[in-house]
Amino acid sequence: MKNLWALLAVVIIVIGGWYALSGKPEVNAQKIMIGVIAPLNGPAASMGEAIRNSVNLVKAGNVTFEFEDDQCDAKKAIAAYQAMKLKGTRIFYVACSGSVLSLAPMVKENNDLIITAYAGSTEIRKTGKEVIRFNPDGMSVIGVMTDYLASAPFAKYGILYEKQDYAQSVVDGLKGKLDKNIVAEEGYLSADTSFKTQIAKLKASGADAIIFVPVSDVAAKIIYGEMRDLKMDKPIVGEVNACDYAFKPSDYGLKGVCWRAGIDTEGYKAFAAAFKAKYGSDPAYPLYDSFTYDSMGIVDRLLAGKTPLDDAAVRSIEDEIVKGQKGNVTDFSFDADGEVLANQYLKLIEFK
């Protein structure tokens, strides 16, 4: 019996030594979960898919990602947040403006943190560092659009926009700047299947140009097709989404301008190449997808050694990001409330 116990001890020692030499990770090694709340179904599902694909490109060493579908609906976002909170999640990536705004008070109260690289509502500027935004917002877009319109040969404008938080914030800002130059305004829902009534009213309004503020690519594609069918002959002044879809207004015989949200760095080229190699297509929303990838990579790096993720650790991550960060795609600077300084990312594009 003594010999048997001695043999068993030797076997245990040998196996333990083999595991140590083999470089196996420790059983207790723990990664921090980041909750990603995005529209994985519904009219904005293409955006959610782009976000999922971008996040999954991150070579994360310190975090894992769990996805929840909110369909850009505030109530669904709250349910997703609460479900993830039960799992101990403290840091969230949230895509849609309405979702960010609905969650911000709870996140602040719970000392959690929201990161976004998609949400563009100007209302988000009223939050504090509990929301850190990497992408240009509606205020940035309003600035470049009104600078252009100040010297454009148009006296009267019609506005067509999706009834959604971001688009509404852009429209409100433009109305404040253009005032009496706006002669018609038409809104629509992303789930609508025809927009001919709104287009016909704008065409007959006497406007010299149509300002278009879309969000859902599904609705925008139908609108372009119906503008072509109704022979829309007025120039289109489209905000950044109009430039950022895989299809272009010029594909439908429309003329006008829009603003491309993008960058041209070696880091972006590497991201785009990796994206295409893995998924077989170019990023659907180049700037926002690359900034999603960069923001999550930055968070992963900053979270090294931060377990357990208590209040102090969350605040330290927040403070480090706001100081400015260098990502794989580009560098980011922020104001004191976590708003990225991003006007340089918006480029005027003419389509004929």
Distance, in Å, from the CA atom of 36 to the CA atom of 93, rounded to the nearest integer, reads 5
- Please name the amino acid found at residue 134: F
Per-residue confidence (pLDDT) for residue 307, from 0 to 100:
86
257-284: average pLDDT: 94
Q: What are phi and psi of 119, to 5 degrees?
A: -65, 125
CA distances 341 to 165, 268, 324, 334, 344, Å, are 21, 18, 10, 6, 8
Residue 3, pLDDT above cutoff 70 = no
* % pLDDT > 70, the chain: 92
Sheet holding 346-351, edge to edge: 182-188, 157-162, 209-213, 236-238, 256-261, 346-351
pLDDT band, residue 28 (cuts 50/70/90): very low
Per-residue confidence (pLDDT) for residue 283, from 0 to 100:
92
Convert the pLDDT of each residue in 194-215 to its tens digit: 999 999 999 999 999 999 999 9
15-19, 164-168, 202-206, 222-226: least confidently modelled range: 15-19
* Domains, the chain, with CATH or none: 32-135+265-342 (3.40.50.2300), 139-262 (3.40.50.2300)
Distance, in Å, from the CA atom of 232 to the CA atom of 175, rounded to the nearest integer, reads 23
Per-residue confidence (pLDDT) for residue 51, from 0 to 100:
98
> What is the CA 256 to chain-centroid distance, rounded?
26
24-33, 198-207, 247-256, 311-320: least confidently modelled range: 24-33
Between 13 and 348, whose confidence is greater? 348
Q: Which helix (H) or strand (E) holds 234?
A: none
Residue 23, pLDDT above cutoff 90 = no
Q: Are 215 and 166 in contact (CB under 8 A)?
A: yes
CA distances 33 to 237, 246, 303, Å, are 41, 32, 11
9-21: average pLDDT: 42
CB atoms within 10 A of CB 175: 15
Residue 9, pLDDT above cutoff 60 = no
Convert the pLDDT of each residue in 243-252 to its tens digit: 888 898 999 9
How would you classify residue 164: left for phi > 0, otherwise alpha for psi between -120 and 50, otherwise beta? beta
Closest residue by Cα to residue 142 from 170, 106, 118, 105? 170
Per-residue confidence (pLDDT) for residue 26, from 0 to 100:
39
Per-residue confidence (pLDDT) for residue 326, from 0 to 100:
96
The whole-model pTM stands at 0.76
DSSP string, 151-170: TSS-S-EEEEEESSHHHHHH
Q: Are 164 and 190 in contact (CB under 8 A)?
A: yes
Neighbouring C-alpha atoms within 13 Å toward the C-beta of 233: 3
Per-residue confidence (pLDDT) for residue 138, from 0 to 100:
87
Residue 20, pLDDT above cutoff 50 = no
Report the helix count and the strand count for the chain, using DSSP H and E.
12, 13
Per-residue confidence (pLDDT) for residue 345, from 0 to 100:
84
What does the block give as tokens for 159? 């506005």
Residue 27, pLDDT above cutoff 50 = no
- For 285, which DSSP code? S
Residue 342, pLDDT above cutoff 70 = yes
Per-residue confidence (pLDDT) for residue 21, from 0 to 100:
37
pLDDT band, residue 288 (cuts 50/70/90): very high
Convert the pLDDT of each residue in 43-68 to its tens digit: 899 999 999 999 999 999 999 999 99
Per-residue confidence (pLDDT) for residue 19, from 0 to 100:
40
